[in-house]
Amino acid sequence: MTKFVTIILACIVTGSVSGQEQRKLSLLPATKMTQEVADFTADHLGYTYVLTLTNHLKKLDQNGDSVGAFNDVKRYGKIFSVDVTNPLKVLVYYKDFSTIVILDRLLNLRGTIDLKKLDILKVKVIATSYDNNIWLYDEWDSRLKKIDDSGKVLFESTDFRQIFDSVPSPEKLFDRDGQLYLYDPTKGLLVFDYYGGRKNTLQLLHLEDLQVLDKNTITARDSTGIILYKPATLQLVSFSGLPDVHSYKKVQFNGELLYCLSKENYLEVFRVSK
């Protein structure tokens, strides 16, 4: 993550510390995976996790070689999301079955949590917490909740209907540097403390592939390219440089690499040139 921030900032010439800047991102092709994939994510160690078209989850090293696989694809249905905040504890979420599967670093099964048994009935986002538990947002009762690996509820926030005129429906959830971030594209990036207290709202609307790398580094994709936003200085940098931003259905940064999943289901990896 630190390497990525250093590289991105090196791409920015001297200018205003606030407002929007336009810059071109210099990219070098690194690899293109020949296997079609439905989705992917990457951890901070440089490992890539790909979801195949047959719903198998594979972990690949920097050379594209498989170092782990989770193939129990029939029990819980279609994988909805994968959280690799902690590469030693991978969270696989099956939304249709309200089930979280916990895997180890080689994608071996460690445990499962049936959210229905906890009366947690409508969850779209989960994330690993700073203390290695699990955050989630339950839209049924509009509360942030933290649970442990056994499913015990450790914390739940006040009802968000008491603090919002219109409650959020987040698509992303991050735990970074002592803060929680919920992203609803129609409302922006909502920032909370660990007790569910509302701290801020960043007006980052209608963006795709938003990531909170740390409390002062937020990346995403808009209709023209990649953006980098730094809340501390209100600096917004818009990068061009992708062959065609509209030809990719998902983009993610990881370290010195830029991962791009094409609409034809091929994952391309670019190295950011210093």
The two structure tokens encoding residue 80: 């909805």
The CA-atom distances, in angstroms, between 176 and each of 181, 234, 236, 261 are 8, 18, 20, 25
Residue 200 CB coordination number (10 Å): 12
The structural domains of the chain, with segments of one domain joined by +, span: 2-272
SS (H, E, C) 115-140: HHHHCCCCEEEEEECCCCCEEEEECC
Residue 63 CB coordination number (10 Å): 7
C-alpha to C-alpha distance for 193 and 144, rounded to whole angstroms: 11
pLDDT at 255: 54
3-state secondary structure of 13: coil
pLDDT at 7: 41
The two structure tokens encoding residue 259: 């991962």
pLDDT at 8: 42
Residue 34 CB coordination number (10 Å): 8
Long-range CB contacts (within 8 A, 24+) of 153-158: 153/118, 155/194, 155/195, 155/196, 156/196, 157/192, 157/195, 157/196, 158/196
pLDDT at 254: 64
Q: Average pLDDT per run of 10 along the chain, which is 274 residues long?
A: 42 43 81 90 93 95 91 88 97 97 97 96 97 97 97 96 94 97 98 95 95 93 87 88 78 80 92 77
Burial string for 104-133 (b: 16+ CB within 10 Å, else e) reads ebebeeeebbebeebebeebbbbbbbeeeb
Strands 248-254 and 27-32: unpaired
pLDDT at 274: 61
Contact criterion met (CB below 8 Å) for 138 and 130: no
pLDDT at 251: 92
3-state secondary structure of 2: helix
pLDDT at 256: 73
CATH code of 2-272, in short, is 2.120.10.30
The two structure tokens encoding residue 151: 């499913």
C-alpha to C-alpha distance for 101 and 103, rounded to whole angstroms: 7
Contact criterion met (CB below 8 Å) for 107 and 99: no
pLDDT at 14: 31
